[in-house]
A = this chain, B = another copy of it.
Amino acid sequence: MATNEVYQYSLISALMDGVASNGIPISQILSHGDHGLGTFQNMVGEMIILDGEVYQMKADGSVVHIDPEETITPFATVTKFQPTTTVKSTLRDGKKDLQSLLDELHPEARNHFLAIRLDGAFRKIEFRTAGGQCRPREGMVDVCSRQTTHTFVGKRGTVVGFRCPGYVMGINVAGDHLHFISEDRQRGGHILGFETEGEVRVGVAVLSRLNLELPKGDGEFDGARLAKDEEGIKAVEG
């Protein structure tokens, strides 16, 4: 696997349409990257891939270490991450400050992808976890209407994320998309907001290649309308 390329399985708009019954083994995803985000069959929980280890972050805020041979995913985005820029930065207004920092570090990359990793102490992290579909084909907006939100105070941990350019909206999430996992790998989820405790280490890589794999022989995917619900995606993933 080449470093700093995006590998993606399926589409965010397929999740929006509730396409989450099938998928490929996570071991296959790991052959393309060691740093990533995604979800699980029936959208049960949030996926974070950190240094090649896969964790499922559940609706109760607990975390399960996943056997990648035994588990499938209907949607994931990964890269073989090799940060090309590393800085220390205090992000008081977390998402907004991170956005400005990335713009500053890589003004040339607004039409490219970024892979992002933060390590350090967080004063506060608000995150959500999707609990899963109530029925096959239930769409992501409905799934996330039942999401549980949690707030951590004073936790060390790691943020794994991607920035996608605007033109991939529907294929992936345009803008910054971040998941968090605590240092003890016991808690985590999809970040809604955060604030660092002093400086954290920020690693960034610009990614100029997207390898998009579509589900094969998956009747749910083949039958999905995949209308781009831009507002919906922003609401549940922004």
The answer to whether B209 touches A213 (Cβ under 8 A) is: yes
Closest to A228 in B: B167
Contact code string A1-45 (vs B, CB < 8 Å = 1, else 0): 000000000010110000000000000000000000000000000
* A224 on the B face (CB < 8 A): yes
- B11, B166, B210, B219: which contacts A167 (Cβ < 8 A)? B11
Q: CA–CA, A13 to B168, complex, Å?
A: 12
- Write the nearest CB–CB distance from A223 to chain B, whole angstroms: 9
Chain B residues near A109 (CB-CB < 8 A): 222
Q: CA–CA, A226 to B216, complex, Å?
A: 30
Near B by CB (< 8 A), chain A positions 180-213 give: 208-213
Q: CA–CA, A167 to B11, complex, Å?
A: 9
The answer to whether A108 touches B210 (Cβ under 8 A) is: no
Q: CA–CA, A219 to B166, complex, Å?
A: 18
- B11, B210, B212, B222: which contacts A110 (Cβ < 8 A)? B222
- Write the nearest CB–CB distance from A85 to chain B, whole angstroms: 16
* A102 on the B face (CB < 8 A): no
Q: CA–CA, A14 to B110, complex, Å?
A: 13
* A98 on the B face (CB < 8 A): no
The answer to whether A111 touches B167 (Cβ under 8 A) is: no
Closest to A166 in B: B226
With A167-B170, A167-B226, A224-B111 as contacts: A216 and B208 at CB distance below 8 Å: yes
* A165 on the B face (CB < 8 A): yes
Chain B residues near A213 (CB-CB < 8 A): 208-209
The answer to whether A214 touches B222 (Cβ under 8 A) is: no
* A75 on the B face (CB < 8 A): no
- Write the nearest CB–CB distance from A14 to chain B, whole angstroms: 8
Which residues of A does B touch, CB under 8 Å? Answer: 11, 13-14, 108-112, 165-168, 170-171, 208-216, 219, 221-222, 224, 226, 228
Excluding A11-B167, A167-B170, 19 further A-B contacts by CB distance (< 8 Å) are A13-B167, A108-B222, A111-B214, A111-B224, A111-B226, A112-B222, A165-B226, A167-B171, A167-B226, A167-B228, A171-B171, A208-B213, A208-B215, A209-B211, A209-B212, A209-B214, A210-B211, A210-B214, A212-B212
